[in-house]
Amino acid sequence: MRAAARIAMALAGVAVVGGGMYVAPRLLDGAGSAAEQRLQAKPGTAPGRSGKEAPFTLVATGDIIPYPSIIQRSATDAGRPGEYDFRRILAGVKPLVSAADLAMCHHEIPYGKPGGPYTGYPTFKAPHQLADALKDAGYDSCSTASNHTLDDGYDGLVRTLDHLDRAGIRHVGSARSAEEAKAPAWSEAGGAKVAQLSYTYGTNGIPVPQGKPWAVNLIDADRIIADARAARAAGAHVVVLSIHWGTEWQTAPDRQQLDLARTLTASKGADGLPDLDVIIGTHNHVPQPYEKINGTWVVFGMGDQVASFVPTDKLRGNQSSVPRFTFAPSASHAGRWEVVKAEYLTQYSDMGPPFRVVCTSCAEGDASLPAAKRTEYARIDKEVTAAVMSRGAAAAGLERATR
C-alpha cells in the first residue's frame, strides 16, 4: 500500500472542498492505438474521479543515463549471456520510489535493437530491460524529451516508447504519431487527475525527423502554457512540467532557466490560478536549487538518477536530489489541488563495486553501514543539500527527509 493513508492521517487538518499547435486531449473508447490506450481509464492509475479525495505524494528523480559500465553491471547482475537486469542497481531507492503515490522518472536515452550494440556518449543506446526495472522500482510515468531522445533516430524513439508501453509505464515528451503528441501523460492519485508535460531545449543538433515535427517536444513558453491550459480543460487537477534545460555541470540556474521559470510560474488561467503546479528540471548532471517562484515550486535540476562519472572533477555527476511534494485539495479553490508539503531526499550513484544507486539521506544513522560509507554518504548528503537550499528554499518551507 502506498503513502496516501499515512499522509491523510498526518494532514487531517487540511480541508477537502468539492468533489507551435496544440489540440486538447480527449478520452477515447476502444483499444485503438497506444496513444488511445494511454488515455483510457485503468483501475487506480488513469484519469477519472474516484469520489474520494485524499492527499497524495509525488516523487520525481533525475536523468537515467546507463553508461557502458552500468550496462555491463546489469549484464553481470543478470548472470545469463545476452540478458540485462537493472533491478539490483535501483534496489536501494525502490522503497522510496514505490512508497510514493505517484513516481516520475526522466528517461534520458533510447533503447537499442535487441542484442545491441549498446553505446555510450555521445549517442546512447541501452537495453530495453531497463523498462522492466523502472516498473519494478515503482515508476508510474516518465518524461522522454531530452537532448538524447533521437540518438538512435526515429526508430529508437519508437522502440523506447513501445517498451515503456509493454512495461506499463506512461510517458510524455516524444511521440510516435501526431495524435499521441497531443496528450500529456495522465495519472490519478488521491482522486486527482494529474497531467505530466515534457519538453527539451534541443536534440544535440540531430534534426527532428522529416515530416514528423511532433516527434519530440521542444521548449516554447507559449506552447507549454497552451498545453497546460488544454490539460486543465481536459480535467487535470494538477499539471506537472518536466523540462530538460540549463547548463551542464553548473549548480546555479542559468539565465534561460530563471527567465523561463518566472514566465511560466507567472502564467495564470482565466480563473486567476496558476497554469502549472510544479516544475521539475533535468539535464544539468549536478544537483541544482529548489525555489518557490510566484508561489510555485521549481526544481531547477535534480542531477542524474543513474550515472557513473569517474573523473575527479565530475564526481558531482553521481549526486542528485529527489523532490517529494504532497498535494491536497485546495481549501479555497474547489477542484484545484496545491502543494501542502515540500521535501527532498539526497541520492548517490555509488560506484562500488558493485555499482548501486542509494538514498544517502535515508542512510543517516544506519549502523549496518561501514563507518567509511556512513562518512561518505553524510558528505554527499551535505553537498547535495547545499545545492538544493542555495536559493532560499528552506525559508519557503522545503524540508529534508530521511525516509
pTM, entire model: 0.88
Model confidence pLDDT, tens digit, residues 71-124: 999 999 999 999 999 999 999 999 999 999 999 999 999 999 999 999 999 999
Choose among 320, 379, 315, 366: nearest CA to 344: 320
Please check whether residue 373 lies inside any domain of the structure. Answer: yes
Please check whether residue 30 lies inside any domain of the structure. Answer: no
Q: How confident is the model at residue 2 (pLDDT cuts 50, 70, 90)?
A: low
CATH of the domain at 92: 3.60.21.10
What is the domain count for the chain? 1
Please check whether residue 19 lies inside any domain of the structure. Answer: no
Please check whether residue 369 lies inside any domain of the structure. Answer: yes
Please check whether residue 185 lies inside any domain of the structure. Answer: yes
Please check whether residue 17 lies inside any domain of the structure. Answer: no
Count CB-CB contacts under 10 A for residue 331: 14
Model confidence pLDDT, tens digit, residues 11-64: 333 332 222 322 333 222 233 333 333 333 333 333 443 457 999 999 999 999
- 121 and 128 Cβ atoms separated by less than 8 Å: no
Mean pLDDT of 299-305: 98
H or E element, residue 311: none
Give me the domain span that covers residue 237: 4-11+48-400
**What is each CA distance from 98 to 183, 191, 253, 386, in whole angstroms?**
25, 18, 30, 27
Distance CA 311, CA 60 (A): 27
Please check whether residue 380 lies inside any domain of the structure. Answer: yes
Please check whether residue 33 lies inside any domain of the structure. Answer: no
Model confidence pLDDT, tens digit, residues 133-165: 999 999 999 999 999 999 999 999 999 999 999
